[in-house]
Structure 1
Amino acid sequence: MKKITLLLLLIASTTIATAQQLYVEGGKTLSTFHYKTSEGNSLENLQATTHGFMAIGYTNQLFTKNLKLSMGLNYAGYGAIGSDDLVGNYMEWNVSYAGLNVGLDYKLFYIKKASVYIKGALATALFVQGNQTLNSRVIDLKNNDDFDTALITYQIGAGFSLPVSESLSFYAQYLHGKSSDIASGDAELKIASNNIGFGLLIDISKKYKQ
């Protein structure tokens, strides 16, 4: 975990020093949990829930004009809802994480002025707050061994960008992600997510050239 954080910080310092665009993004995350007990049994009947996310950061051309490196900060919510038909339990989770993300965008082709790209990203985040509802009982997840830990998420997807003016572009993208195992002990807990985001790209390259 420390090695990944140091790598992200190194990329951050390099990107900020040579940034060409600033981005601001917001959107919705449809998430659910994949949980297995230490015996390998899955928790069935978990349904996805919708949460918001926001991000801000920098992008910079990397090696070729079609490849861009992005780096920024993000705040995202995740959760799931379910029930246990055997004993009649109702369960719901709502958690929030804040962290650092690094991504690579590769431009595939143009449709008139709009460019279509694919994207891969890696994010590391720390638990901010969260709770679990079990029937009528609400449990604070702060200091919980499963959730109050670092979250590493891998994402892949695609999007398109459309220039609005010489210094401003609008973009929309979809990313599917899955986290590393965050469960304590021999159990397994991963967060799966589907993000739909909308953002603005602000060209600041002229400022850096001055």
Structure 2
Amino acid sequence: MLLARRLGGTGALLRPVRGTPAQRCHGEIGRLATVGLLLSSLSACGWQPAPSGFCPKRHRSPAVTGSGGIPAPVAKLSGLKGVKLQYLGTLTFPDPADPTDVFTLAAADGERLVDAATGATLAMAPATALERMNDLMRMLHTGRGAWMLGLLLGLASALVPVLGGTGLVLWLRRRAARPRICTNVPARAADTVILVGSEGNSTWGF
């Protein structure tokens, strides 16, 4: 809002920022940070974490038991290798004391149970449309699963203290540039009223 007011309205937000080097730097940093912060804030309105109760928990796959064979190396289980890492939500390992326990893998497309010995997918519960939308909002909010978006969100967050620092410097400079008129009187008691228009307070010197 401050940048739009300075540039002349919301339609001018993409115009070059004018002013001193410090003012231009502050404006450009604010414009860059706003993109990431707005994306994170708006996506947070649509993302409902599981504890909130709004988005129901994923439909659990039906209870199944594994083959009970000797567990195979995780890297050789076909049921796990078929899921790309960026789509992986959680992976629960089977209980070593229970040979019939299975891997529980929650991914973007749903939840699957994988046999620890054969690597076969024993059961699959597809994700609902609401769950897919919730995952999309979580990705936009956190950048998880999209490294370029994560860099943008991280950069926007890192620019916030820089933006605060440059804003404080500009405010102190503007405050120091305010006129100091020792004999000034209220307008109704003045013999002469001088109207001064100045954007950066430089006109006060005249």
TM-score when scaled to structure 2? 0.18
Instruction: Determine which structure has more spread, i.e. the larger CA radius of gyration.
Output: 2
- More helix by proportion, 1 or 2? 2
